[in-house]
């Protein structure tokens, strides 16, 4: 990039450096010193210090009392929350779900995690003359749905323990109601990145789901495809797995996951 800044530090390069500082501090998630910033961004400490003072004055960074380090300030936190609030999961997932349905033909769904299960927020009906899917607004349990298992495998240990200590509702003879069995399956789901629930919410039905993560790296939902068991096997096809996980990653990316 050509140098177009003046002595005051104004210009494109100054803006770029200020943004790089903000991103680096946010990514580190702990207070960062001037020397570390200069080394990470490949510039001088004096130049970093000038930008830090401006960012502190504007509230994007703060310097804790009796410290020579800097961390995210209230204005940056508020900005992040405002952006997050405007990223509606159903809206963000609409195009990836449509493409997933068009590619595979099955109903495609996205669910949002809640303390009590997975809330369906958007669904695109499949191309089969017999419609197989779930109603928007439905609450799916963690133990009987692929969406629930896909999310539960990546939650905090405290969240997972609370679910496992609670009552695991049974829907069919195939529903997992043993905490030990469910925990073992969650470990498999975490390793492979996808989950299924053949005949577990209803006889003859199956769903393949993959987790969705928000900008902070926390699991916030799941993307899945729904159909009869003869079309989505207990071990889905490689194409089904790859496309479903790709759709979930696309939604996660739209929510800001991996941006920092």
* In the predicted structure, residue 5 carries a pLDDT above the cut 70: no
pLDDT, position 246: 98
Of 81-90, 160-169, 182-191, 234-243, the one with minimum mean pLDDT is: 81-90
Please give the structure tokens belonging to residue 47.
């130049």
Put simply, whether the predicted model's pTM sits higher than 0.95 gets the answer: no
Asked if 208 and 240 touch (Cβ cutoff 8 Å), the reply is yes
Strand arrangement, sheet containing 117-124: 139-140, 117-124, 107-114, 219-228, 205-213, 195-196
Task: Place 10 in a pLDDT band, splitting at 50, 70 and 90.
Answer: low
pLDDT, position 81: 59
Measured distance between the N- and C-terminal CA atoms of the chain, rounded to whole angstroms: 22
Task: Place 87 in a pLDDT band, splitting at 50, 70 and 90.
Answer: low
Note the Cα 38 to chain centre separation in Å: 31
* Portion of the chain with pLDDT greater than 70, in percent: 91
* In the predicted structure, residue 90 carries a pLDDT above the cut 70: yes
Structure-model confidence comparison of residues 127 and 131, the more confident one = 127
The mean pLDDT value for 198-220 works out to: 95
Task: Place 258 in a pLDDT band, splitting at 50, 70 and 90.
Answer: confident
* In the predicted structure, residue 176 carries a pLDDT above the cut 90: yes
DSSP codes of every residue in 115-142: TTEEEEEEEE--SSSS-----TT-EE-T
pLDDT, position 7: 46
pLDDT, position 9: 47
Task: Place 2 in a pLDDT band, splitting at 50, 70 and 90.
Answer: very low
pLDDT, position 220: 95
* In the predicted structure, residue 105 carries a pLDDT above the cut 90: yes
* In the predicted structure, residue 65 carries a pLDDT above the cut 70: yes
- The mean predicted confidence, pLDDT, of the chain is 89
């Amino acid at each position: 990039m050509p140098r177009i800044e003046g002595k005051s530090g104004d210009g494109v390069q100054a803006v770029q450096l200020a943004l790089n500082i903000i991103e680096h501090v946010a990514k580190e998630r702990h207070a960062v010193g001037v020397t570390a910033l200069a080394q990470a961004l490949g510039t001088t400490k004096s130049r970093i210090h000038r930008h830090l003072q401006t960012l502190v004055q504007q509230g994007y960074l703060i310097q804790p009392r009796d410290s020579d380090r800097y961390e995210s300030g209230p204005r940056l936190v508020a900005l992040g929350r405002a952006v997050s609030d405007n990223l509606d999961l159903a809206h963000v997932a609409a195009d990836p779900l449509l493409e997933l349905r068009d590619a595979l033909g099955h109903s495609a769904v996205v669910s949002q995690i809640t303390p009590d299960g997975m809330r369906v927020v958007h669904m695109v009906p499949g191309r089969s003359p017999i419609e197989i899917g779930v109603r928007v607004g439905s609450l799916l349990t963690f133990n009987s749905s692929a969406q629930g298992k896909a999310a539960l495998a990546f939650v905090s240990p405290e969240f997972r323990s609370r679910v496992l200590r609670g009552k695991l509702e049974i829907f069919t003879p195939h529903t997992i109601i043993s905490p030990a069995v469910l925990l073992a399956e969650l470990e498999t789901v975490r390793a492979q990145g996808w989950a299924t629930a053949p005949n577990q919410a209803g006889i003859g039905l199956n769903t393949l789901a993959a987790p969705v993560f928000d900008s902070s790296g926390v699991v916030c939902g799941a993307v899945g495809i729904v159909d009869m068991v003869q079309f989505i096997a207990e071990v889905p096809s490689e194409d089904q797995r790859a496309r479903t996980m790709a759709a979930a990653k696309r939604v996660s990316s739209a929510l800001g996951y991996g941006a920092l």
